[in-house]
Structures are given as C-alpha cells and as structure tokens.
Amino acid sequence: MPAISRDEVAHLARLARLAVTAEELDVFAGQLDDILQAVARVGEVAADDIPPTSHAVPLTNVFREDVVRPGLSQQQALSGAPRAEDGRFRVPRILGEE
C-alpha cells in the first residue's frame, strides 16, 4: 500500500503554495511515496522514553541589550522588491474572487 496518494500530494502542493502541473504530480507522487516508505524506518526505533532533540546545541532564549541600532534603510529594504510604489512594497490584491 502506498504511504501517500496522488491526491494527498496535490493537497500538500496546495498547502505549500506550489502550482504543480499534472505531470509533476505523477512524478512527485511516486517519488514521495518511495522516500516516505524509506524514512518511515525511524519508527522501528523504540524511543518512547527518549526526549526529542530539536537542536544540537541546547540554548534558551538569547537576548541583546535593548538599545537602538541601525537597520536597513527604506531604500535598501525595497531594493529587491519585485514592485515598489511610494516607498512601499506593491503587492497584488489580497482578496480572491471567492
């Protein structure tokens, strides 16, 4: 039984904001299934009482002095914008037709 169906992969693509084509879905569905079947091996390890590690070096919150320091200028921040207008990022309309 496959670990993941083509429909599920299509759903993942929507969640991940990727407008994948039908051809891509065919390829990705098979590949993701192979990968998931392989990485599911982590489940073979008995680890109920093992704490998870999110980070190699354990760290608690790191703070700096609460002082103002220079950041990017408005011009620098907008320098890579696909579109800018009046010193602001220009974005497409936010609301869809639905």
Partner 1 sequence: MADLTRLTAAELAGRIHAREVSAVEVAQAHLDRIAAVDPAVHAFLHVDAEGALAAARAVDETLAAGRPPASPLAGVPLALKDVFTTEGVPTTCGSKILDGWLPPYDATVTRRLKQAGIVVLGKTNMDEFAMGSSTENSAYGPTRNPWNPERIPGGSGGGSAAALAAFQAPLAIGTDTGGSIRQPGAVTGTVGVKPTYGGVSRYGLVAFSSSLDQGGPCARTVLDAALLHEVIGGHDPLDSTSIDAPVPPVVAAARQGAAGDLSGVRVGVVTELDGEGYQPGVLSAFHAAVEQLRALGAEVVKVSCPHFDYGLSAYYLIAPSECSSNLARFDAMRYGLREGDDGTHSAEEVMTLTREAGFGPEVKRRIMLGTYALSAGYYDAYYGQAQKVRTLIARDFAAAYEKVDVLVSPTTPTTAFRIGEKVDDPLAMYRSDLCTIPANLAGNAAMSVPCGLAEEDGLPVGLQIMAPTMQDHRMYRVAAAYEVARDAAEGGPLIHRVPELPATVGRGVEEVAR
Which residues lie near partner 1 (CB under 8 A)? 4, 8-9, 12-13, 15-20, 24, 27-28, 31-32, 34-36, 38-45, 47, 50-57, 59, 62, 64, 72, 76-77, 79-83, 89, 91-97
- C-beta separation of 9 from 32 below 8 A: yes
Q: Closest separation between CB of residue 28 and partner 1, Å?
A: 6
Q: Closest separation between CB of residue 65 and partner 1, Å?
A: 10
Q: Which residues touch 26 (CB under 8 Å, ≥6 apart)?
A: 6
Q: Residue 5 phi/psi, 5° resolution?
A: -95, 170
For 89, which DSSP code? E
Distance CA 54, CA 61 (A): 14
Q: Closest separation between CB of residue 54 and partner 1, Å?
A: 6
